[in-house]
């Protein structure tokens, strides 16, 4: 993929903290106009990678490019075209929301004051409120409104729904979806709200212990994972060449998660197995994530 086609390009990035490797040789691209969900448990390396992405930290090895600009050496140019909502919503607590918006208006060349005001109104946030008096969810909403007001070509959201109630989470995702539909903005998001991102993301990356263990289209990932239940006996999936990610007891029978499901392999297994009723069910992104990133999960 050329630079013109990639909104984000992460190339062999490694981040070390002393002897600890936080990000281990990670590479992926986010095509322009697409939504990439970067997932992982706490401590998997996502936050370190995001800091490199937005030019707050220099990688020990490798390179990060946004809109074909180096995130570290070209940070000023990059940040004029990239909206960011960090995990910890931070701004001077004594400033009012309006004053923060006025500051942003002087800094960002494409700032749209009317867009910021309209989104703050939808979030029911008074521009005269001091930032420090707002709830955690309101602070996130303010930063999202301001990130979108700069008409970004790329939007980076680092766990934006953390600490939000269900209404605020829906409102935030609705705003993001509206922005993507209106402008074709590229989005890279880290989140633990897997149900919320499942219908939004085009592609998903899953990190574990600093490594990117999954990087594929959302629908491809979901199509290759299935939960297979057998009413009696043990699951013996080798006959169908199905890769078993996990096996558990299920009533008087057993169930297995397979990571390379296809209809032909499943029918071959069902025809060869003498275990009674057998069925295969689709899995949600959350269920797949648990299998991959859990304590005993497989790595792909």
pLDDT digit string, tens, across residues 274-296? 656 778 899 999 999 999 998 65
Look at residue 235 in the predicted model and tell me its pLDDT. 56
Residue 199 Cα to chain centre, angstroms? 12
Write down the residue that tokens 């494409």 correspond to.
110
CB burial of 99-121 (b: ≥16 within 10 Å; e: otherwise) equals: bbbeebeeebeebeeebbeebbe
Burial label, 199 (beta-carbon count in 10 A; 0-12, 13-18, 19+): exposed
**pLDDT of amino acid 237:** 52
Is the pLDDT at 298 greater than 50? The verdict is no
With a cut of 50, say whether residue 299 has pLDDT above it.
no
Beta pairing class for 154-158 and 82-85: parallel
Q: Provide the 8-state DSSP code for 2.
A: -
**Which of 171, 149, 153, 172 has its CA nearest to residue 101?**
149
**Average pLDDT for 218-235:** 82
Per-residue pLDDT tens over the stretch 54-100? 999 999 999 999 999 999 999 999 999 999 999 888 899 999 999 99
pLDDT tens digits for 126-145? Answer: 999 999 999 988 998 899 99
Better-predicted residue by pLDDT, 178 or 150: 150
**Residue 277, CA distances (Å) to 261, 267, 294 in order:** 18, 12, 29
First and final C-alpha spacing in the chain: 23
Task: Tell me the pLDDT tens digit for each residue of 176-217.
Answer: 877 776 778 899 999 998 988 998 899 999 999 999 999 999
pTM: 0.88
Kindly calculate the radius of gyration of the chain based on its CA atoms and give it in whole angstroms.
22
Handedness of CA 291, 292, 297, 300 (dihedral sign): positive
Q: By percentage, how much of the chain surpasses pLDDT 90?
A: 62
Q: Is the pLDDT of residue 165 over 60?
A: yes
Task: Give the pLDDT confidence of 234-258 residue by residue, as tens digits.
Answer: 555 544 566 776 777 666 677 888 8
pLDDT digits (tens, 9 = 90+) for 92-131: 999 999 999 999 999 999 999 999 999 999 889 999 999 9
Q: Are 188 and 198 in contact (CB under 8 A)?
A: no
**Confidence (pLDDT) at 2:** 54
Q: Give the residue from 47, 81, 61, 92 showing the smallest Cα distance to 207.
A: 47
Name residue 116's beta-bridge partners. Answer: none
Dihedral sign for Cα atoms in the order 89, 91, 94, 96? negative
Residue 16 has pLDDT above 50, yes or no: yes
Check whether 233 has a pLDDT greater than 60: no
Comparing C-alpha atoms, which of 159, 127, 157, 126 is closest to residue 144?
157
State whether residue 213 is helix, strand or coil.
strand
| pLDDT higher than 80, residue 3 | no
pLDDT of residue 274: 61
């Amino acid at each position: 993929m050329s630079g013109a086609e990639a909104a984000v390009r992460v190339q062999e990035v490694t981040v070390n903290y002393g002897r600890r490797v936080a990000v281990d040789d990670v590479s992926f691209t986010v095509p322009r106009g697409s939504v990439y969900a970067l997932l992982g448990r706490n401590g998997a390396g996502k936050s370190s990678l995001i800091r490199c992405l937005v030019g707050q930290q220099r990688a020990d090895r490798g390179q990060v490019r946004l809109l074909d600009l180096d995130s570290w050496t070209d940070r000023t140019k990059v940040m004029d075209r990239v909206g960011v909502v960090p995990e910890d919503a931070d701004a001077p607590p004594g400033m009012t929301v309006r004053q923060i918006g006025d500051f942003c208006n002087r800094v960002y060349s494409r700032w749209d004051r009317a867009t910021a005001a309209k989104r703050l109104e939808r979030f029911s946030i008074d521009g005269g409120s001091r930032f420090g008096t707002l709830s955690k969810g309101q602070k996130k909403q303010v930063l999202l409104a301001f990130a979108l007001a700069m008409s970004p070509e790329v939007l980076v959201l680092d766990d934006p729904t953390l600490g939000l109630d269900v209404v605020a989470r829906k409102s935030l995702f609705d705003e993001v979806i509206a922005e993507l539909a209106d402008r074709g903005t590229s989005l890279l998001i880290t989140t633990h709200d897997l149900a919320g991102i499942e219908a939004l993301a085009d592609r998903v990356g899953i990190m574990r212990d600093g490594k990117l263990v999954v990087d594929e289209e959302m629908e491809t990932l979901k199509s290759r994972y299935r939960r297979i239940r057998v009413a009696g006996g043990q699951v013996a999936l080798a006959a169908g060449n199905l890769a078993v990610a996990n096996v558990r007891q299920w009533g008087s029978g057993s169930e297995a998660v397979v990571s390379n499901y296809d209809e032909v392999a499943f029918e071959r297994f069902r025809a060869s197995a003498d275990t009674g009723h057998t069925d295969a069910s689709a899995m949600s992104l959350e269920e797949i994530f648990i299998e991959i990133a859990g304590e005993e999960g497989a790595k792909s």
